[in-house]
């Protein structure tokens, strides 16, 4: 274990457990909010507005929260995030009107955003560069566990028999608030002490990096788009697989098992993330998983028996498990070191935009071309994400990289001696014995405040004088 990991990974286990409880509460509360709103007299449009408030309200504060985390501690965001999630869930359970439900849903979404920004920033800071893929993969297991257990818990509590929808949905929301509060049991010693963080070179107070510069860093925009595509595929699959089941006469219980199978396959993928990266390499794994996921999404639009759907959904869940952790690592490694939390906040902003735009677009396409159209849209989106990942230029800070992301020592850079035929082209004696100039370039900085290098070249002459 490297020093950058803080001497152990107990902090990562506690963070995964904390995230699992917080995500389970959110995943349990979101369907309960919809049922509670329907019991209060809301129509389908009002339910859509409530869901939109959950996703859109945090967009206003994502970047400021990221900037604050870049220049401060991360753990307070986790404390605040869990409090907002628990409060939003519990207060939604006692709300007496649809506008109140929308307001508390927004509070819940804000809490989830605070928690995720703080947690991802802790993983980025405490992980050595070679360990980020593994640690982000294990961290996102908490998300998958929450997405697996939360809806199941909501289904066990909520019932519409004998007009009990209002009461049971309120009970589910109160239980979700209590479940979120349990996350505090593991919310300790997740962050290094301030003095230790300074010794290890973690970012302190510095001039903020502009959003434009972050997005222009090679790989950041590609990582954000990949994350958006993968999350959109997960959300649309969850929303429209029941529609496909209804049209094909598949029982709701079977559809629930298929969605649970998808979540379980995602967990399995993240458990074996490190061996897959070692075997295939980061970029081929990311590109291949997006392409295969796109083909599987398109395959869901075709008529297939239940066992065929189960195979495709399991394979799709495994492929979709790759995108989120690798997109986190891509964004963290490509962004300026002093703006990594802001870059992660921009990634979450893209995720929230995808959560709003993708279901709306899928609904419009389903109304025009049937239930198969949303899955075809997802296939196109995932293939486009694969194209952006394969076309991503290497960052200037990392240069040529190996499968693990480390620079290759065998590929020389400017200013280093070369050997063989390349050295002969750069300098040395020519075919007629005449002298040839040897030029070496060197990058310098005009002053400490600029980040743009200035190239200078010095040449020497070898061989006999003319």
CA angle 194, 129, 13 (to 5 degrees): 65
State how far the Cα of 453 lies from the Cα of 115, in Å rounded to an integer. Answer: 37
Distance CA 464, CA 332 (A): 52
CB-based contacts of 137, cutoff 8 Å, min separation 6: 270, 271, 273, 274, 325
Provide the pLDDT for residue 44: 65
Q: Residue 244 in contact with residue 373, Cβ under 8 Å? A: no
pLDDT value of residue 178:
93
Look up the pTM and report it: 0.68
* Partners of 358 in beta bridges: none
Residue 142 to residue 382: CA distance in whole angstroms: 24
Q: What are the structure tokens assigned to 86, written together?
A: 């628990």
Q: What is the DSSP string of 30-47?
A: HHHHHHHHHHTT--HHHH
Contacts of 265 (CB under 8 A, 6+ apart): 313, 314, 315, 316, 317, 318, 321
- Do the Cβ atoms of 29 and 175 come closer than 8 Å? no
The pLDDT of residue 147: 81
Distance, CA of 250 to CA of 238 (rounded, Å): 15
Residue with tokens 């990289």: 401
Task: Kindly give the confidence (pLDDT) of every residue in the chain, 466 residues in length, as a single tens digit, with 9 standing for 90 and above.
Answer: 343 444 467 888 888 899 999 999 998 888 888 888 888 887 767 777 787 788 777 777 877 878 777 776 778 888 999 999 999 999 998 888 888 888 998 899 899 988 988 888 888 888 887 787 788 888 888 888 888 888 888 878 887 676 777 888 889 899 999 999 999 988 877 776 544 444 444 444 556 777 778 888 788 888 888 888 888 888 788 777 777 777 788 776 777 788 888 888 998 988 888 888 888 888 889 889 999 999 998 888 888 888 988 999 999 999 998 888 888 888 888 888 778 888 888 888 888 888 778 877 777 787 787 777 888 888 889 999 888 877 554 333 333 344 444 444 444 444 444 444 444 444 444 434 444 444 444 444 433 333 444 444 444 444 444 4
For residues 148 and 267, is the Cβ–Cβ distance under 8 A? yes
How far is 28 from 151, CA to CA, in rounded Å?
5
Rounded to whole angstroms, how far apart are CA atoms 162 and 382?
44
């Amino acid at each position: 274990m490297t020093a950058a990991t803080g001497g152990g990974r107990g902090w990562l286990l506690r963070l995964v457990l904390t995230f699992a409880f917080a995500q389970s509460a959110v995943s349990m509360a979101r369907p309960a909010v919809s049922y509670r709103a329907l019991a209060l007299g809301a129509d389908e449009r009002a339910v859509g507005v409530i869901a939109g408030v959950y996703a859109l309200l945090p967009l206003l504060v994502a970047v400021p929260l990221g900037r604050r985390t870049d220049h401060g501690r991360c753990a307070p965001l986790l404390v605040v995030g869990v409090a907002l999630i628990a409060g939003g869930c519990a207060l939604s359970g006692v709300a007496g009107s649809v506008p109140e439900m929308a307001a508390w849903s927004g509070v819940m979404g804000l809490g989830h955003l605070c928690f995720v920004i703080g947690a991802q920033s802790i993983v980025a800071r405490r992980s050595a560069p070679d360990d980020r893929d593994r640690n982000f993969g294990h961290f996102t297991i908490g998300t998958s566990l929450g997405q697996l257990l939360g809806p199941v818990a909501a289904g066990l509590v909520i019932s519409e028999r004998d007009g009990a929808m209002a009461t049971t949905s309120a009970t589910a929301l109160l239980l979700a608030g209590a479940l979120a509060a349990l996350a505090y049991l593991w919310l300790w010693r997740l962050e290094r002490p301030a003095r230790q963080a300074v010794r290890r070179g973690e970012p302190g107070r510095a001039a903020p990096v502009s959003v434009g510069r972050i997005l222009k860093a090679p790989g950041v925009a590609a990582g954000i788009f990949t994350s958006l595509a993968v999350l959109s595929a997960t959300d649309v699959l969850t929303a429209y697989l029941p529609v496909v089941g209804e049209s094909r006469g598949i029982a709701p219980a079977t559809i629930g098992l298929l969605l649970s199978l998808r979540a379980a396959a995602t967990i399995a993928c993240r458990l074996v993330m490190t061996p897959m990266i070692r075997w295939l390499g980061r970029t081929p794994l990311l590109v291949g998983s997006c392409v295969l996921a796109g083909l599987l999404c398109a395959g869901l639009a075709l008529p297939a028996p239940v066992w065929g759907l189960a195979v495709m959904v399991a394979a799709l869940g495994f492929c979709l498990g790759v995108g989120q952790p690798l997109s986190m690592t891509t964004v963290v490694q490509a962004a300026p070191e002093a703006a990594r939390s802001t870059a992660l906040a921009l990634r979450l902003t893209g995720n929230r935009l995808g959560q709003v735009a993708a279901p709306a677009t899928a609904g419009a396409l389903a109304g025009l071309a049937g239930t198969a159209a949303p899955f075809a849209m997802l296939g196109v989106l995932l293939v486009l994400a694969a194209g952006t990942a394969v076309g991503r230029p290497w960052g200037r800070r990392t240069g040529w990289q190996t499968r693990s992301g480390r620079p290759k020592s065998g590929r020389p850079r400017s200013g280093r001696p070369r050997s063989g035929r390349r050295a002969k082209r750069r300098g040395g004696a020519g075919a007629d014995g005449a002298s040839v100039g040897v030029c070496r370039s060197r990058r310098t900085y005009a002053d400490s405040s600029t980040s743009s290098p200035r190239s200078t070249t010095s040449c020497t002459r070898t061989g006999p004088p003319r």
